[in-house]
Chains A and B, each alone.
Chain A
Amino acid sequence: MAEGQVIDGIYFNEVIEDAGLDEGTKKLTPEKIERVINDVLKGETGARLKTYVDTCIHCGLCSNACHYYLSRDKDPTYSPAGKVKQTMWEMIKKKGRVSPTFMKRASQIASTQCCVCMRCAMYCPFGIDIAYIMSVVRRICHLLGITPLYIQDTAHSHAVTMNQMWVKNDEWPDTLQWQEDEAREEIPTTRIPLEKEGADIMYSVIGPEPKFLAQLLYQAAIIFEVAGLSWTMPATPGWDNSDMAMYTMDSEIMGRVKRVHFETARRLRVKKIVMGECGHAFRSVYDRGNRWLGWKMHPFYIEHAIEFYYNLLKSGKIKIAKKYEEPVTLHDPCNVMRGRGLYEMARYVVSEMCADFRDMQPNREHNYCCCAGGGVINCGPPYKMTRMLGNRVKAEQIAATGAKVVIAPCHNCHSGLEDIVSHYKLGTHVKFISDILYEVMEKPGAV
């Protein structure tokens, strides 16, 4: 990654090779750009975008919300309003008559230099939603075929397989059976009930769990077993709740993926969907997919793992045998904190499990984003340094707690923080809540 260059009259604060953007840009013509921008501005957006753009007083007060801006020594090209200036303001001002290189830069900004974390909406006095504006830019880029390569591949996987990781239909139940077998060696009565119609809970996870993190399925099975819950997982597509199409703004695919997920829960006649520790998946199920499908709220209760564990601990269905000793801190994932207000529940869970909990500053809904979210980590290796240099503040936040373990109840945050922790040599481990819960809980029936 090279820094700071002007290419075809457009300033790139980072110069990165990405086949999706490089090749896609070659195919653009000014006519196509103009048509697509105006189609989106006139056909898909309306008063909300216009009001945001007209109301913004160009005051820059949103700047210190953004981890990119703060971590990049207050370089204004990373400030929230600065990103709008380099993208949407210009598109509107020029009525869509912008160059292919401009669009390439716009895609870089919207897809890799904004995590659509919505922290800036809490710092703009008018509540202008810059994440929404960046999503509109992503939508335009999607329709123009200039989305970063890796995340586009993930969106293709969703379109073809209805899961994020090209997991084949037989691999999924195989993996569950394998994890069930393993879990039965610990607690012989453990089951992972597949396709159990009328169960109370459908448990859904993201594609990477069966692909690389199968132990999380094992841990979940043990937790469900000990808590004595009526639950099931689907054997069909619909088991994956993740959604990168949401972040590429391929809304049509997002809608299809979410519909399959909801319809699967419907078919199994469950009362609620419990989702594993993932933030973006929660956003897609709780806040976005439903809207695309035309529902204000859902026909079933949507419960994130944090709330699920909270209820299990509160009701005593899960008991703690011995608290975790090492000092821990908690990373508040945007999509379930700013997105669902689960911060007090998360703190209850962590304090129940751990003897030495140290909060980061700032925290709760004001916590800094992990810089992996919003699909940025899914844009792949070309952007690793974008994330590392773009989130020094997170490293400082973690280091200041002196904790040995960062608990990150979100997959994107978890992977992003592992990179941060190793890049800044913090010597900290990153864990899911379930990693610790599984370790410290009472397990009656274990052999």
Chain B
Amino acid sequence: MHGLYNFVRGPLAWVAFILFFGGILYRLISMLLGARKKDGVVFDYFSLYYGLRSIFHWIIPFANRNSRQRPIFTIVTFAFHICLLAVPILLLAHIILWDESFNISWWNLPDSIADIMAIIVVACCGYFLWRRLTQPEVKFVTFASDYVILAIVAAPFITGFLAYHQWFGYKFMLILHMLSGEVMLAAIPFTRLGHMFYSPFTRAYMGSEFGSVRHAKDW
């Protein structure tokens, strides 16, 4: 078990981070080069001001009409995304790892809060699962891969929660937790989780078209 632990913590973590950062870089660069080749229009009409204007209206809850029409979804999705980003970055146990490996550290969330936030992430995943299973307009556009993606996202939080509470064998859970976290990192650039880095571009492009050509709002 110790050998496995070291492997997951060492080389596999490197692989995951390289795939994550390298993958994002690769996807973004190929998107921009591809756009240069066939969709020059994206650059011609791009406007930083209108792009940001649009992004702001979509990263602030209830700042656009659709989010006001679906208050529950809006609260769930914002809670989900905030916790999803904050917990892995601001968890004390993670920061200690960074400190041990690279001698860098930053402010951390109190463990009890991080714990609740992990539960929020899992609960939100449950909500998304419920939507996919029961809401006809979501069910119709759901593929098997959408469930896999949901599982990939939920897994590190479930295993992390279990490991923190030392249920079902700490070491074993910890290995599962690291593994699932690595799977998620590596999956982001190569699945629809890539909306994480694509969405600012698609939003900004639509914002630019609406702002500078159409003279209309897009929220």
- Measured CB to CB, the residues of A under 8 A from B are 44-48, 50-52, 54-61, 63-65, 69, 74-77, 79, 81-82, 84-85, 121-123, 125-129, 287, 291, 296, 337-341, 343, 362, 365-366
Q: Which residues of A contact B217 (CB under 8 A)?
A: 122, 365
Proximity bits, B105-142, A CB within 8 Å = 1, else 0: 00000000000000000000000000100011111111
Q: Which residues of B contact A79 (CB under 8 A)?
A: 137, 140-141
Can you list 28 A-B pairs, Cβ within 8 angstroms, ordered by A? A47-B37, A51-B198, A55-B202, A56-B192, A58-B143, A58-B146, A59-B138, A60-B131, A63-B137, A64-B69, A74-B137, A75-B136, A76-B140, A77-B140, A82-B140, A84-B141, A121-B218, A122-B217, A122-B218, A125-B199, A125-B203, A127-B218, A287-B214, A296-B45, A337-B216, A341-B214, A341-B216, A365-B216
B198 and A340 within 8 A (CB): no
Q: Which of B32, B54, B198 has the most CB of A within 10 A?
A: B198
For chain B residues 161-219, which have a beta carbon within 8 Å of chain A? 192, 194-195, 198-199, 201-203, 205-207, 210, 213-219
Q: Which residues of A contact B44 (CB under 8 A)?
A: 296
> In chain A, what residue has the closest Cβ to B193?
A57
- Measured CB to CB, the residues of B under 8 A from A are 30-35, 37-39, 41-42, 44-45, 54, 58, 64-66, 69-70, 73, 131, 135-143, 146, 192, 194-195, 198-199, 201-203, 205-207, 210, 213-219
| B105 → A minimal CB distance (Å) | 34
| B106 → A minimal CB distance (Å) | 29
| A215 → B minimal CB distance (Å) | 31
Q: Which residues of B contact A58 (CB under 8 A)?
A: 138, 141-143, 146, 192
Given A48-B35, A79-B140, are A55 and B216 also a contact pair (CB < 8 Å)?
no
| A31 → B minimal CB distance (Å) | 25
| B47 → A minimal CB distance (Å) | 12
| B29 → A minimal CB distance (Å) | 11
A47 and B35 within 8 A (CB): yes
How many Å lie between the Cα of A376 and that of B193 in the bound state? Answer: 35
Interface SS, B side? helix
A46 and B206 within 8 A (CB): no
B38 and A69 within 8 A (CB): no
A291 and B41 within 8 A (CB): yes
> In chain A, what residue has the closest Cβ to B198?
A55
Given A54-B192, A126-B203, are A47 and B138 also a contact pair (CB < 8 Å)?
no
| A11 → B minimal CB distance (Å) | 11
B141 and A76 within 8 A (CB): yes
Q: Told that A47-B39, A54-B194, A121-B206 touch, could you supply 4 new A-B pairs with CB distance under 8 A?
A: A60-B131, A122-B218, A341-B216, A362-B65
> In chain B, what residue has the closest Cβ to A339?
B214
B198 and A54 within 8 A (CB): yes
How many Å lie between the Cα of A314 and that of B139 in the bound state? Answer: 52
Q: Which residues of A contact B206 (CB under 8 A)?
A: 121, 127, 129
| A244 → B minimal CB distance (Å) | 22
Given A55-B195, A79-B140, A85-B140, are A61 and B202 also a contact pair (CB < 8 Å)?
no
Q: Which of A59, A64, A287, A340 has the most CB of B within 10 A?
A: A59
> In chain A, what residue has the closest Cβ to B142?
A58
Q: Which residues of B contact A75 (CB under 8 A)?
A: 136
Q: Which residues of B contact A45 (CB under 8 A)?
A: 38-39
How many Å lie between the Cα of A338 and that of B216 in the bound state? Answer: 6
A127 and B207 within 8 A (CB): yes
> In chain A, what residue has the closest Cβ to B143?
A58
B194 and A55 within 8 A (CB): yes
| A18 → B minimal CB distance (Å) | 25
Q: Which residues of A contact B218 (CB under 8 A)?
A: 121-122, 127, 365
How many Å lie between the Cα of A337 and that of B210 in the bound state? Answer: 10
| B28 → A minimal CB distance (Å) | 10
How many Å lie between the Cα of A75 and that of B136 in the bound state? Answer: 8
Q: Which residues of B contact A296 (CB under 8 A)?
A: 44-45
Q: Which residues of B contact A61 (CB under 8 A)?
A: 66, 70, 73
Given A74-B137, A339-B214, are A47 and B192 also a contact pair (CB < 8 Å)?
no
A82 and B141 within 8 A (CB): yes
How many Å lie between the Cα of A47 and that of B34 in the bound state? Answer: 5
Q: Which of B32, B135, B137, B146 has the most CB of A within 10 A?
A: B137
3 A-B pairs with least C-beta separation:
A46-B38, A127-B206, A341-B215
How many Å lie between the Cα of A163 and that of B186 in the bound state? Answer: 55
Given A127-B54, A127-B207, are A50 and B138 also a contact pair (CB < 8 Å)?
no
How many Å lie between the Cα of A337 and that of B199 in the bound state? Answer: 25
A76 and B137 within 8 A (CB): yes
How many Å lie between the Cα of A64 and that of B136 in the bound state? Answer: 12
B32 and A47 within 8 A (CB): yes
B207 and A50 within 8 A (CB): no
Given A57-B192, A126-B195, A287-B213, are A64 and B202 also a contact pair (CB < 8 Å)?
no
Q: Which residues of A contact B32 (CB under 8 A)?
A: 47
Cross-chain contact of B31 among A51, A63, A81 (Cβ < 8 A): A51
How many Å lie between the Cα of A314 and that of B31 in the bound state? Answer: 47
How many Å lie between the Cα of A234 and that of B160 in the bound state? Answer: 74
> In chain B, what residue has the closest Cβ to A366?
B65
Q: Which residues of A contact B198 (CB under 8 A)?
A: 51, 54-55, 126
Q: Which residues of B contact A59 (CB under 8 A)?
A: 138
> In chain B, what residue has the closest Cβ to A66?
B137
How many Å lie between the Cα of A127 and that of B219 in the bound state? Answer: 9
Given A51-B198, A55-B202, A64-B66, are A81 and B141 also a contact pair (CB < 8 Å)?
yes
Q: Which residues of B contact A52 (CB under 8 A)?
A: 202
> In chain A, what residue has the closest Cβ to B66?
A123
> In chain B, what residue has the closest Cβ to A362?
B65
B202 and A127 within 8 A (CB): yes
Q: Which residues of A contact B141 (CB under 8 A)?
A: 58, 60, 76, 79, 81-82, 84-85
Q: Which residues of B contact A341 (CB under 8 A)?
A: 214-216
